[in-house]
Amino acid sequence: MATIKKGIKKDAKKALVKVSEKSVKNAIKKTAPPKEAPVKAASSAPVTAGLLSGAVTTESTALDTLYITNESNIQVTLSVNAGAQGQTSNMTITLDDKIIIKNLAGDFGETALGTNIKIAGKVLRIVATIADTSRLTNFTSLTIHLKGGQENSDFPLSKTVDQEGDSADYICRIEFFKS
């Protein structure tokens, strides 16, 4: 478990541009699972599924998972929805050590990352701070959409902040793995 925490912390520092080191450390402390609990990847179920059925949903602002690719020349694409209406964001996305976008405010539109065969073994990192600027709710969210690999996948993350105007730090690491 210590290795996972160190890996997430190291990855977050590499991808971090404008988000302060202190806010990342606080995010890691707040989102790290208890020592006995296994690390879980975000499910591909829609964020609203639990909300509509009245079920209690689990909030998470950290993601460390694999995205399965194949040996094709099909492009793998990424898009990211940073919060709902009334939320603001600051997001940095890197692929290995290459910065894809830095200090983006808002959503990241669908962008090709590379072909399945060329992207295998690379690591995608997304670090975002979502500020609750909506008067209607304190709910913040980040949804990552990957297409073109073995299967299309959505990774919904969310956190309800304590007060209007608070922010939540999201730290994501996705490794592209050839099946």
| CA gap 146, 152 in Å, rounded | 6
The pLDDT of residue 79: 98
Chain-centre distance for alpha carbon 105? 15
pLDDT tens, 156-174? 999 999 998 899 999 999 9
* pLDDT surpasses 90 at 127: yes
Mean pLDDT score, 117-146: 94
Cβ–Cβ under 8 Å, residues 14 and 25: no
Residue 23 three-state SS: helix
- What pLDDT digit, counting tens, does each position of 9-45 carry? 444 334 333 333 444 344 444 434 334 333 334 433 3
The amino acid sitting at 85 is Q
Q: What pLDDT is attached to residue 45?
A: 37
Q: Is the pLDDT of residue 134 over 50?
A: yes
8 A C-beta contact, residue 144 and residue 173: no
What are 48-106's pLDDT values in tens digits? 333 333 444 578 999 999 999 999 999 999 999 998 777 889 999 999 999 999 999 99
Residue 4, amino acid? I
Backbone angles phi, psi at 94, to 5 degrees: -130, 155
